[in-house]
Amino acid sequence: MTEILNKLLDKNSLIFGFLLIAIIVYLSEVVAKKLGKGKVPGSALAILAGLVLAYFGGVHTNGEKGLSDIPLFSGLGVFGGAMFRDFTIVATAMGASYQVMKKAGRIGLISLLVGVVLFFVTGVAVAWVWGYRDAVSLCTLGAGSCSYIVGPVTGAALGASSEVIALSISAGVVKAIAVTVFTPIAAKYIGLNDAKSAMAYGGIMGTSSGVAAGLAATDPKLVPYGAVTATFYTGLGCLLCPSLFYIVVIKIIEIFS
């Protein structure tokens, strides 16, 4: 019986991966509703759960690929691999529209640039203070401070170590939670109260899940306006971090050393 089941799961590891993630998401949603009162997005919790599971997987196998190093869970490595990851991120561009972006126009574009630069520079500066000196790690951590997608995409493109990529994902997850929790608190102090300001806010903060959840807790009417600019943030980050920003970081390191 166990033998049949093991053989079945081994042959269909990717499908088993789908089931596992569905279970993780369901449990995270339940916990998010009960404990966080909707203040912490279920998706952010699920990502944290994934990182925790990866930790135990790493402790168990001493491998480098977290939970997916355990043969039973190898499907997670395929499902969460570069191919599916990039494919699904590209698909999210479909949610953005040229027409709505035209309305956001200058506000959206400039706030996006300001946002990506602000988070990247702060992330790189903190990583530098922490002791990182190589351009690849610095850029990956700076990108991780943009979002938990820009970080690993940049890390993968530049060939960063799995450790730094995991750190950049954690940083992005922390950011998404911080934006979710602090947006409704900060909203009235920073003048976040209409469509225009929401578009600028989405551009500055980026992380779509955090912005969408944070704005929903502030004023549900603002959600689509924040989300429309935030949708572009990941694309812009993926475009700039491993290219232009990477070259700039290399040049700055050359000056300082």
Partner 1 sequence: MIIYGVGILAFSFLMGQFIGESLGHWLGINANVGGVGFAMLILLTIKEWFLKKGWLDSAFEQGVDFWSKMYIPVVIAMSASQNVKLAVSSGFLAIIVGVLPVFLGFVLFPFLFKKEVI
Name which of 35 and 110 has its Cβ closer to partner 1: 110
Binding of partner 1 at residue 95 (CB under 8 A)? yes
Name which of 156 and 253 has its Cβ closer to partner 1: 156
User: Quick check: 118 and 125 in contact, CB under 8 A?
Assistant: no
Q: How far apart (Å, rounded) are the C-alpha atoms in residues 200 and 221?
A: 15
Binding of partner 1 at residue 227 (CB under 8 A)? no
Shortest distance (Å) from residue 160 CB to partner 1: 10
Non-local CB neighbours of 85 within 8 Å, separated by 6+ positions: 149, 152, 153
Binding mask 140-159 for partner 1 (x = CB under 8 A): -x--xx--xx--xx--xxxx
Interface stretch with partner 1, choices 5-13, 30-38, 164-172, 217-225 (CB under 8 A): 164-172
Interface stretch with partner 1, choices 4-12, 30-38, 102-110, 215-223 (CB under 8 A): 102-110
Return the residue of 31, 72, 100, 107 that touches partner 1, per CB under 8 A. 107
Binding of partner 1 at residue 230 (CB under 8 A)? no
Shortest distance (Å) from residue 50 CB to partner 1: 4
Neighbours of 198 (CB within 10 A): 27
Of the candidates 227, 239, 1, the residue with the CA atom closest to the CA atom of residue 108: 227
Binding of partner 1 at residue 72 (CB under 8 A)? no
Question: Restricting to residues 186-205, which ones interact with partner 1 according to CB under 8 A?
Answer: 186, 189-192, 197, 200-201, 203-205
Question: Binders of partner 1: how many residues, by CB under 8 A?
Answer: 108
Of the candidates 125, 97, 115, 70, the residue with the CA atom closest to the CA atom of residue 253: 125
Q: How far apart (Å, rounded) are the C-alpha atoms in residues 182 and 176?
A: 10
Binding of partner 1 at residue 58 (CB under 8 A)? yes
Q: Rounded to 5 degrees, what are φ and ψ at 37?
A: 50, 35
Signed CA dihedral, 165, 166, 169, 171: sign only = negative
